[in-house]
Amino acid sequence: MRHEPAIDLSPDVHDEVKYTTCYMCACRCGIKVHLKDGMVRYIEGNPNHPINKGVLCGKGSSGIMQHYSPARLKKPLKRVGPRGEAKFEEIEWEEALQIATKWLGNIRATDPRKLAFFTGRDQSQSLTGWWATQYGTPNFAAHGGFCSVNMAAAGLYTIGGSFWEFGEPDWDRARYFMIFGVAEDHDSNPIKTGMGKLKANGAKIVSVNPIRTGYSAIADEWVGIRPGTDGLFVMALIHELLHADKIDTDYLVRYTNLGWLVIDAPGTAEHGLFARDKEGNPLSYDKAGKKLADARLPDIAPALVGRYKLADRRVAVPAFQLLAERYMDERYSPDAVAATCGIDAGDIRRLAAELAHAAFQETIELDVEWTDWAGRKHDKIIGRPVAMHAMRGISAHTNGFHTCRAIHTLQVLLGSVECPGGFRFKPPFPKPIPPAQKPAGKTYAPNTPLGGAPLGFVNGPEDLLLEEDGTPVRIDKAFSWDAPISAHGLMHMVITNAWKGDPYPIDTLFMYMANMSWNSTMNTKGVMEMLTDIDHETGAYKIPHIIYSDAYFSEMVAYADLILPDTTYLERWDCISLLDRPICEADGPADAIRQPVVEPDRDVRAFQTVLIDLGARLGLPGMTNEDGTAKYPGGYPDYIANHERAPGIGPLAGWRGKDGTEQGRGAPNPDQLQAYIEHECFWHHELKPSERFYKFANRDYLDFAQRMGFIGHAEQIVLQIYSEPLQKFKLAAEGHGDIQPPDDMRERIRTAFDPLPVWYKPYEEEMVDTTEFPLHALTQRPMIMYHSWGSQNAWLRQILGRNKLYISTVKAAELGIADGDWVRVTSHNGSIKVQAKTMEGVNPDTVWTWNAIGKRSGSWNLAPDAPEAKKGFLLNHLISELLPPGGKRRITNSDPVTGQAAWFDLMVRVEKCEAGDEVSEPQFPEIGRLPGMEPGPDIVRFNAGGGKKK
Amino acid sequence: MTSLPSARGPKRLGLVIDLDTCVGCHACATNCKEWNTSGHSAPLTDLNAYQAEQRGVWFNRVFTFEAGGQGENARTVHFPKNCLHCEFPDCVTVCPTGASYKRAEDGIVLVDADKCIGCKLCSWACSYGAREYDEDAGVMKKCTLCIDKIYNEKLPEADRVPACVATCPAKARHFGDFNDPESKVSRLTRERGGYDLMPETGYQPTSKYLPPRPGKRTAGASLPREEGGRDSAGKFLRWVDAVLSR
């Protein structure tokens, strides 16, 4: 029997489609949200959006379950039991805002530093940072300090841009692509799409990563490097290229400072600084004119090697010579580094040869006319089609800043930065090196805004934020000798420092979207104890007040005194601003908005609107009119459209001016948000072909960038491979200048502040006994999860609901561990019990697990016996926020230059243990459900428009 | 038992899945889930959604495993799996009620939920494990190739492709008509050595997999060392004479 039933091939899909921006990770793709009967029916990528061009990843495609999660907070909460027990009562917003205003108002009137305002995975940092400025506290940062500040800072101090948000590989033209330390994170869809393109084009992909998952799985070649040695590996590649003279010297003299002269006067205060003329211009030795000349002049012929007398009879050498002397030394030869890196020396030589071949034998020439900074016209654009990308695996080490600088140096030596087929900047980058904004906070006073933004870029010791006695100004000790170039702050140190009262106690910790009592902190158990620790003199908590805003019942909620419930991403206004972390692409700047596509069904408010409301209640200057009324009574959307950071420059660049016809600069447009909605919620300006490459030295581009307000002056941005700011810190450590590090910090500063990239062993590995803790332990971000948000999602937790400890088959056999055994993992900071899984594709000295799968029992409104709680685990318990004991005091477990949290320096030992009850350890008391929160349903029959509303 | 169409129509629709490019991101799986949970076979029920033993109905699942040897010789494979819409599917012929059927026009294999008695014979017959039993509804469900999307006249033409294909960030999935030799799927199958999964079943799966490309290594390559690059005085001779203009 057979007959085909009649089926409806063209059912109604939606009542309405609304455009907005995804927030299932930090990638910020454009999405189309289909709505049916008031429910979210389907979320798909916007084909016109510059980031994702229609595609959407596994996370973005699970947004429905994120939006309808039973873990959503519903109403403001006030703590009524001891901290950590999640005993709350629901309160009205007015009461919540009054409580917050009272606490914050008292602090502001007395000592504004006593507010520590830290905003996790915040995508509105240009608002939150500005709010902190208006309030007057220097104690602001988002999560960059524990995420990727090494990448941002190394890029901005070297090439004026950085991986991911400030630049991208030329996916369409690259012939050779190296990706370092990336499992899945940043940026999600462009990397996937780009790698698909490279494969289709027949380009080669090399993945350098101790673990072969995700992108490494499809690479043509997987280099299973030992963690923390990437810098040394890159220097060996540089060694090979220099010895073979396979470097682009034309590029170096035109676009970098390697032809600038460096003073060679050991022991003096100017040793290692650039030789400059009376006007302060850096000097080169011009081989054409046979004399010293302003190094930035066009048409001179700067010497790359040699020793040259300066007017004052001192000697100077070109920076290139210092670079060549360093990396041509045999200690950087493939044979010398092979054992440390765990890579065969022959493979290193071959990879260097392949790089050189791609750069110099597969050169691209585009027949595009362009004009350089000096006004000279060129009829071709030359491309060296080698592209690179690097992220967390490089970033999360105490040598990550220099490793990232080494990668940029390698790219620059090949002439592959900002050319066809290479690594390309995304406007508004490149910026001057380093960017001009310095951190504010040298002075602060009650009821007074800060002199500028709390975060910025220091040029030397004189820019540090130190009190007269040398103690740090900031609670996280950013911009102190602990981490002088900590451009994103050190969120991972805030709780520890505040609890200790070092450098001073605080009154209120105000946080947003940061799960600091669980997966977003190091030393989780210790931090939980600090959050509940009581000062026995006063009987109050050592951190007296904690205000927290989140959309979900994360582990951190239990530790707050006041909860301000946020909306989901589909219920809110947002702007993805050029003033913040942009979403541009190499062919042009872009920004975007979120608009509410559904109304909240709970008593929640968007955090940004709440923050602006609090600002008005506190009378903060930028948020109140002269008569004391609120300046942005319409909340965040009102601010987005009407706020001006500088005359004509606001959060959004598109449709500015009274009639909406201007871009970049223009008066606020009251109908701007409507214009964005009419344009699918994003603005994108495409550069002319002549503006698209060599942006740091491209007349048309530089003029455009100045008009748009991206840069102050349309001058060439010279790549700073030799970094003078770093040398200034080194000189201070050697005893020069008025501001010097304390004696116990001198050696650390002297070593870490080298003007050229250096490699040193990660600190934890150096400090612990590696016979006791012989293995590196890492996490990888799973493709389907963005930290703890993803692992509560009803669909995503079916894909990955628990994690195991992965260990190489060879190492497991050596340790007598079989697949599925339970093991104890121990570090200098703690011990966990977990289940092991063996695999082939992992460096034998490395164990690893998926990031942020383990959850505390009862949190996120999951059943207390959910596998996330009972089988899943965090490595965080093993990682200390402080370096192992040794020396005068325990210093932050962070990169010594930037304060980047060194998650991946962790060293452990792994031993087989009894399986027992097969529950992971440590376990913590179950968190009870919040008032008003229903348990998650057993069965989900989600069918939008199917008449079965949840 | 259920018979296959006696006369097949003009089209043979299916997918090409590129194992060389799939990074295992599960976008195909979750985008399929969100389209189909409110689609032709709605809902794609989830059981114990927020409890232990969470599970549910998925038309598309990605499996990750290692294959091919030890250490560096092994390869990590991301293997997306869904119904292959076979030409001679036993899952249809074993169906006692006629609930499972293969469309004559385009070869898509579907389940008529009104006729399905939930006996699961089809899932035993499918060697690929592509059938998904909805314990809550008591019926079998499976990939529809997004039949309510690919022909949906209420959607713009560009959107009329299966959700898994439209969303795939790495472009590892392609949709088309295998009866058209010039279609992208036919061309890719020809050019890249597309193959049938487990041909020994005799089901003649319509959808094909593309094998991983061999990795590129220039065996034995290394750079010549420029002799005399550095003299005993530490000078770098080859760069001494170069006159390079800014």
* A898-925 pLDDT per residue, tens: 999 999 999 999 999 999 999 999 999 9
- Mean pLDDT computed over A64-79: 98
Question: How distant is the Cα of A470 from the closest Cα of chain B, in angstroms?
Answer: 42
Interface residue of B192, B223, B231 to substitute, partner A, most A CBs within 10 Å: B223
Note whether B223 contacts A: Cβ–Cβ < 8 A: yes
Segment B172-210, tens digit of pLDDT: 999 999 999 999 999 999 999 999 999 999 999 999 999
With b for 16 or more beta-carbon neighbours within 10 A and e for fewer, the A308-338 pattern comes to bebeeeeebbbbbbbbbbbbbeeebbbebbb
The count of other CB atoms within 10 Å of the CB of residue A244 is 18
Q: If you classify domain B13-210 with CATH, what class do you get? A: alpha beta
The pLDDT of residue A214 is above 50: yes
Q: How confident is the model at residue A186 (pLDDT cuts 50, 70, 90)?
A: confident
A208 falls within a domain:
no
A800 to chain B: closest CA residue: B54
| Facing residue for A306 by CB, picked from B25, B75, B240 | B240
Inter-chain CB proximity B45 and A321 less than 8 Å: no
Segment A852-904, tens digit of pLDDT: 999 999 999 999 999 999 999 999 999 999 999 987 899 999 999 999 999 99
- Helix-then-strand count for chain A, H and E: 26, 35
Note whether A813 contacts B: Cβ–Cβ < 8 A: no
Q: Beta strands of A748-851 (E only): which ranges? A: 775-780, 805-808, 822-826, 831-839, 846-850
* Phi, psi angle pair for A410, to nearest 5°: -60, -45
Residues of chain B with C-beta less than 8 angstroms from the C-beta of A797? 54
Among A491, A484, A432, A490, CA closest to A458: A484
Residues of chain A with C-beta less than 8 angstroms from the C-beta of B220? 346, 350
| Facing residue for A801 by CB, picked from B3, B47, B54 | B54
| Facing residue for A41 by CB, picked from B20, B33, B38 | B38
Residues of chain B with C-beta less than 8 angstroms from the C-beta of A297? 246
Residues 6+ apart with CB under 8 A from A387: A169, A170, A171, A174, A176, A177, A178, A416, A421, A422, A423
Question: How distant is the Cα of A240 from the closest Cα of chain B, in angstroms?
Answer: 7
A64 falls within a domain:
yes
Instruction: For residue A628, give the amino acid letter.
Output: G
Residues 6+ apart with CB under 8 A from B190: none
Beta bridge partners of A901: A894
For chain B, positions 133-152, list CB contacts with chain A under 8 A: 136, 147-149, 151-152
Inter-chain CB proximity A1 and B98 less than 8 Å: yes
The pLDDT of residue A545 is above 70: yes
Segment A386-396, tens digit of pLDDT: 999 999 999 99
Segment A354-412, tens digit of pLDDT: 999 999 999 999 999 999 999 999 999 999 999 999 999 999 999 999 999 999 999 99
Residues 6+ apart with CB under 8 A from A145: A476, A478, A486, A488, A489, A490, A491, A492, A894, A898, A899, A900, A901
Residues of chain B with C-beta less than 8 angstroms from the C-beta of A322? none
Kindly report the CATH number assigned to the domain that includes residue A50. Answer: 2.20.25.90
The whole-angstrom separation of Cα A47 and Cα A53 is 4
Residues 6+ apart with CB under 8 A from A466: A472, A473, A479, A480, A481, A739
User: What integer best gives the mean pLDDT of chain B?
Assistant: 94
CA A100 vs CA A119, A135, A548, A624, A735: distances in Å: 16, 13, 11, 18, 46
Task: Confirm if A432 and A156 have CB atoms less than 8 A apart.
Answer: no
Number of A to B CB contacts under 8 A, please give it: 328
Residues of chain B with C-beta less than 8 angstroms from the C-beta of A199? 20-21, 213
pLDDT at A948: 42
Note whether A360 contacts B: Cβ–Cβ < 8 A: no
| Facing residue for B66 by CB, picked from A7, A259, A840 | A840
pLDDT at B241: 82
| Facing residue for A221 by CB, picked from B152, B217, B235 | B217
A792 falls within a domain:
yes
Pairing state of beta strands A221-223 and A204-208?
parallel
B65 to chain A: closest CA residue: A839
A864 to chain B: closest CA residue: B51
pLDDT at B233: 53
Among B59, B46, B52, CA closest to A940: B46
A433 falls within a domain:
no
A32 falls within a domain:
yes
ipTM above 0.95, yes or no: yes
| Facing residue for B26 by CB, picked from A36, A783, A840 | A783
A275 falls within a domain:
no
pLDDT at A771: 98
Inter-chain CB proximity B38 and A36 less than 8 Å: yes
The whole-angstrom separation of Cα A666 and Cα A677 is 19
Note whether B4 contacts A: Cβ–Cβ < 8 A: yes
pLDDT at A1: 44
Question: Can the peptide bond before residue A922 be classed as cis, meaning omega within 30 degrees of 0?
Answer: yes
Q: Beta strands of B122-238 (E only): which ranges? A: 132-134, 139-141, 173-177, 208-210
The whole-angstrom separation of Cα A490 and Cα A146 is 7
Q: How confident is the model at residue A620 (pLDDT cuts 50, 70, 90)?
A: very high
The whole-angstrom separation of Cα A155 and Cα A163 is 7
* Phi, psi angle pair for B18, to nearest 5°: -95, 105
**Into how many domains does chain A fold?**
2
Residues of chain A with C-beta less than 8 angstroms from the C-beta of B30? 58-59, 61-62, 784, 795-796, 799
B36 to chain A: closest CA residue: A943
Note whether A460 contacts B: Cβ–Cβ < 8 A: no
pLDDT at B235: 59
The whole-angstrom separation of Cα A449 and Cα A618 is 12
Inter-chain CB proximity A5 and B154 less than 8 Å: no
With b for 16 or more beta-carbon neighbours within 10 A and e for fewer, the B35-44 pattern comes to bbbbbbbbbb
Q: What DSSP string describes B7-43?
A: S--S--EEEEEETTT-----HHHHHHHHHHTTSTT--
The whole-angstrom separation of Cα B219 and Cα A891 is 46
Kindly report the CATH number assigned to the domain that includes residue A880. Answer: 2.40.40.20
A28 falls within a domain:
yes
A881 falls within a domain:
yes
What is the Cα gyration radius of chain B? 25
Segment B89-114, tens digit of pLDDT: 999 999 999 999 999 999 999 999 99
For chain A, positions 76-95, list CB contacts with chain B under 8 A: none
Inter-chain CB proximity A42 and B34 less than 8 Å: yes
Residues 6+ apart with CB under 8 A from A478: A141, A145, A439, A455, A465, A472, A486, A489, A490, A899
Residue-range definition of the domain harbouring residue A836 = 769-912
pTM over 0.90: yes
Q: How confident is the model at residue A949 (pLDDT cuts 50, 70, 90)?
A: very low
Residues of chain A with C-beta less than 8 angstroms from the C-beta of B38? 36, 41-42, 942-946
Question: Can the peptide bond before residue A744 be classed as cis, meaning omega within 30 degrees of 0?
Answer: no
Query: Would you list the domain boundaries of chain B?
Result: 13-210
∠ CA A387-A391-A394 to the nearest 5 degrees?
A: 105
Note whether A922 contacts B: Cβ–Cβ < 8 A: no
Question: How distant is the Cα of A325 from the closest Cα of chain B, in angstroms?
Answer: 8
pLDDT at A841: 96
Q: How confident is the model at residue A947 (pLDDT cuts 50, 70, 90)?
A: low
